[in-house]
Amino acid sequence: MDHNALGTTGENMASSFLKKEGYTILERNWRFGKAEIDIIASREDIMVFIEVKMRSSEHYGSPWQAVVKNKQTRIIKAADHYLRKTKWPGEARFDIISIVGSGVGAKLTHLKAAFYPLL
């Protein structure tokens, strides 16, 4: 499976998982400048910005480890714009959904509050 197909598969798996967990999917692949937020969802009064990382194996480490500081910074800036644009009154959180493998045997891990904006 090529890189783009793997990413789309991971985002579809993550969206299905989030819906089952009671989240409402608001946006997918939302762009602001050079940043892209894979999934924007809400649950109760929390807006959740989710980065999805999927790898076929953990040979090069866990997928979540690829969400490095500069990637986090881009996501945070984009999220700030989205929150201002929508005038969201509640809390916001940054999650990572890490997926290893494919198909039925894939292992999905939801890391809630995986990173925070720096002051």
Instruction: Judge whether 117 lies within some domain.
Output: no
pLDDT band at 3 (very low <50, low <70, confident <90, very high): low
Instruction: Judge whether 55 lies within some domain.
Output: yes
At 63 the pLDDT is 87
The H helix count followed by the E strand count for the chain is: 2, 5
Per the structure, the count of domains in the chain is 1
Q: Which domain holds residue 94?
A: 3-111
Instruction: Judge whether 75 lies within some domain.
Output: yes
pLDDT digits (tens, 9 = 90+) for 55-114: 877 777 888 888 899 999 999 999 999 999 999 999 999 999 999 987 778 999 999 999
Instruction: Judge whether 78 lies within some domain.
Output: yes
Instruction: State how far the alpha carbon of 20 is from the alpha carbons of 2, 14, 16, 43, in Å.
Output: 27, 10, 6, 12
Q: Which has more confidence, 65 or 119?
A: 65
Residues of the chain with pLDDT > 70, as a percent, come to 94
CA-nearest of 114, 108, 110, 86 to 9 is: 108
Instruction: Judge whether 119 lies within some domain.
Output: no
Which CATH number goes with the domain that contains 42?
Answer: 3.40.1350.10
pLDDT band at 23 (very low <50, low <70, confident <90, very high): very high
CA-nearest of 100, 109, 101, 80 to 92 is: 80
What is the distance between the alpha carbons of residues 115 and 95, in angstroms, rounded to a whole number? 7
What is the distance between the alpha carbons of residues 9 and 6, in angstroms, rounded to a whole number? 5
Instruction: Judge whether 9 lies within some domain.
Output: yes
Q: What does the pLDDT average to over 37-49?
A: 96
